[in-house]
Structure 1
């Protein structure tokens, strides 16, 4: 699906994100449709990627189920390959980014000579992709438009974005989820390098929401060859959507003003779809089964599921 126009009884709100269409039902439940849209550099690219929505939704469902002993998650039902129905929460206005390795934004900051990221000190003498002595949390603001911004723990609490009590709990949940994510990845011969979590609150209960440990929200390395690559100063083999960003940069696009998205050929679109399916199978250890669902069938299935909840 590229976009949806569902007619759901009891609908009280609708939000279209870069990738997700979210329907609020009676201010209690949310129907999240994960589309095949793809974004990079905060821009939605002109062509969808077949089965991408299914990959993201099903990885998230598997990972949320594998972490539900750590804290509750928002999911009530996954009625369709690219649809999740769950509890509507008041979302905390920060994303909890956690990093196990000096990679990506952290490495670019480090390489520039800075040793503090989001108020967290990074050790001297590190190389790109080295493990931190302990995972670090580098939160960002959660922007509906434009770019998320780095922010420190102290600023979050001082600005009243999250109470001190809730933020301390979010930190504990973040580190526990990341630890579990790394354990799950290790079983698949992977290293969970960094990821982000979003949390919300319903009543007095904190829930982990949206997606976790997916190739869009996380970066994975292959464990095999990691040490050898580090010692030789070579790049690590990644499992993430970084390859899409790299292709865009090679073709002169980084989301800056005046730049145009390069033409996405059928060959490129199909190759991205195949990579997402490969990501699914590597991360979950399960065979991916392509499922095509019409909007009409999806609407009927969602209505029936909502009646049963």
Structure 2
């Protein structure tokens, strides 16, 4: 069994019954189920959703995205062994903890396989909600150049690199390109202020102005729950991204929920606490891979400069990275997942066939 066989790199070609094109993101692919299959599963499995709610199968992959590109290694290795299973295991763990702590629900209804979620359709809030406890990364780079205002928040003088911020900061950005909002550029992933959101809450898909405070509360509570749990295993939660949306439950009540993944090495920075206290930054996140890429290529500006995107895409497409670079990040993902969940991450010999078999036998969703 070769390493490449254990990696699920292509996840948009599964024979799952659907009438719509498969939506494939950087890491996950989404298959919208037919109306008949959605209704049948809601009834058979007793999901707490409206009887006519559209359901989807979300399949994670082992692809690795960094600097908005997908990377691969020598020997036909198109992803990171164990990455998909590790990410899902971490998200599942946090979502369960959120529920136990009385926070909001998530869009996940069922987990048939380590690579698969059954989710309900949500109306997404068009905001990537970034929460920061330390000043590092892009925020530090901007601060070091003299910027002091971030998303309408004024930062004090004298902050130091990689040190705790005076308080937990919420620095939201747009999710997708939003048009016609005064003061908000029509581009993906641009920073916005709380006032932008308040003045145009409907344009960001909030159902009411009151839900802005609700999303901030869920953000802070979610960050707190994860941060406390990580502290207990000597890990420091540095920053993260949350996404939210609306769904309707079986009783017809609309509620704001967590969407996408939470608290994973793909959406967060997690540092080893003991190393941090000794003055070293040891990343248990994708940041280590980003640093590898910045050091590996002679002109790191290609990776950092958005105006050089065609060159960056060519770098990712035309370069087989050393296998060890992907194995290194594999160890990081699996190691932190096992620490967080307290359970081993098993590498499947043929993940694609495994999940097809489960979706066929237990859910009758394969044609």
TM-score > 0.5 by shorter chain? yes
Question: Is 1:108 aligned to residue 172 of structure 2?
Answer: no
Consecutive unaligned residues in structure 2, runs of 5 or more: 1-7, 36-52, 73-77, 178-186, 249-253
Question: Is 1:15 aligned to residue 23 of structure 2?
Answer: yes
Trace 1:127-146 onto structure 2 (pairs within 5 A).
Answer: 127-143=160-176
Shift of 1:121: 1.9
Structure 2 counterpart SS, 1:224: helix
**Total equivalences in the alignment:** 302
- Which stretch shifts more, 4-13 or 46-55? 4-13
Deviation sequence 1:249-268 (CA, Å, 0-9, x none): 11225163324134312232
Structure-2 residue corresponding to 1:295: 352
Question: Is 1:161 aligned to residue 192 of structure 2?
Answer: no
Contact 1:156 1:162 in 2 (8 A): no
| Cα distance in 2 for residues equivalent to 1:277 and 1:119 | 37
Shift of 1:143: 2.8
| Cα distance in 2 for residues equivalent to 1:118 and 1:158 | 14
- Which stretch shifts more, 247-256 or 176-185? 247-256
Shift of 1:200: 0.9
Match 1:41 to one of 67, 70, 74: 67
Structure-1 residue corresponding to 2:107: 74
Contact 1:107 1:128 in 2 (8 A): yes
Contact 1:3 1:21 in 2 (8 A): no
Question: Is 1:149 aligned to residue 190 of structure 2?
Answer: yes
Match 1:284 to one of 338, 341, 358: 341
| Cα distance in 2 for residues equivalent to 1:102 and 1:180 | 20
**Structure number with higher relative contact order (C-alpha < 8 Å, ≥ 6 residues apart):** 2
Deviation sequence 1:134-182 (CA, Å, 0-9, x none): 20100111138x8522111211233331442222211110001001011
Shift of 1:306: 4.2
Structure-2 residue corresponding to 1:217: 267
| Cα distance in 1 for residues equivalent to 2:154 and 2:339 | 33
Shift in CA distance, 102/294, structure 1 to aligned 2, threshold 3 Å: closer
Deviation sequence 1:12-58 (CA, Å, 0-9, x none): 45210011111122361121111011100011113311221111111
Question: Is 1:247 aligned to residue 266 of structure 2?
Answer: no
Contact 1:81 1:291 in 2 (8 A): no
Structure 1 counterpart SS, 2:321: coil
Contact 2:130 2:241 in 1 (8 A): yes
| Cα distance in 1 for residues equivalent to 2:291 and 2:81 | 20
**TM-score computed with the length of structure 2 as normaliser:** 0.76
Shift of 1:96: 0.7
**TM-score computed with the length of structure 1 as normaliser:** 0.90
Deviation sequence 1:218-270 (CA, Å, 0-9, x none): 111122143442xxxxx422211111111111122516332413431223222
Query: What RMSD over aligned residues (CA atoms) do the two structures have, in Å?
Result: 2.2
| Cα distance in 2 for residues equivalent to 1:154 and 1:132 | 22
Shift in CA distance, 227/301, structure 1 to aligned 2, threshold 3 Å: same
| Cα distance in 2 for residues equivalent to 1:135 and 1:273 | 30
Contact 2:172 2:193 in 1 (8 A): yes
Question: Is 1:192 aligned to residue 192 of structure 2?
Answer: no
